Amino acid sequence: MLDFARHADRAIYVLIAVMAVTVALEGVEDRPGKAIAYAIGTALALTLAELFADRVGISIRSRRPATEDEIRHEYREALTGLVVVALPISMLLLAALGVVAIDTAYVLAQWVGFVILAIYSYVASRAGGGSRLQALVGAAALTAIGGALIGFNALIK
């Protein structure tokens, strides 16, 4: 079973990148299938790059190849990030299936990503020993990244 809280850092990293792609594509790419391909391609490219970088980092720091346990750990983290970004990408799938308009799908994808960032930020603060109020304030501050992307998008459209 994936431990989404344990691998939040990887999930947030990939999620923010996918949110940036959906912001960049909105209003430019009107074909849902192509938008899905861009978003999935971005998620896969970042995940593979991070896996490669982690493997190289382990070898450099420890002066040995990664162990099987380290490799499995890295794969679990990578899979967590890909599972989490499936939620916003699924909004684009709704457009491809004709359930919602492509413009609506972009907005939904961005807001789903925003909500996931808020939840992860809150959980991280609580896991770090923060009170509920501290967690809410921390989540609001950290989630500002997603909000800034959405706000920037609204300003330029």
Residue 132 lies in a domain: yes
Residue 137 has pLDDT above 80, yes or no: yes
Rounded mean pLDDT of 63-75?
89
Residue 3 lies in a domain: no
Q: Which residue has the higher pLDDT, 138 or 10?
A: 138
Residue 139 lies in a domain: yes
Residue numbers of the domain that contains 81 = 8-156
Residue 36 lies in a domain: yes
Residue 84 lies in a domain: yes
Question: Longest Cα pair distance anywhere in the chain, in angstroms?
Answer: 53
| Digit-coded pLDDT (tens) for 88-116 | 999 999 999 999 999 899 889 988 988 88
Instruction: Report the alpha-carbon distance of residue 149 to residue 38 in Å, rounded.
Output: 18
And the tokens for 25?
């594509």
Residue 2 lies in a domain: no
Residue whose C-alpha is closest to residue 55's, from 70, 42, 45, 43: 70
Contacts of 18 (CB under 8 A, 6+ apart): 39, 42, 43, 85, 88, 89, 109, 113
pTM: 0.77
Structural domain total, the chain: 1
Residue 52 lies in a domain: yes
Residue 66 lies in a domain: yes
Contacts of 3 (CB under 8 A, 6+ apart): 76, 80
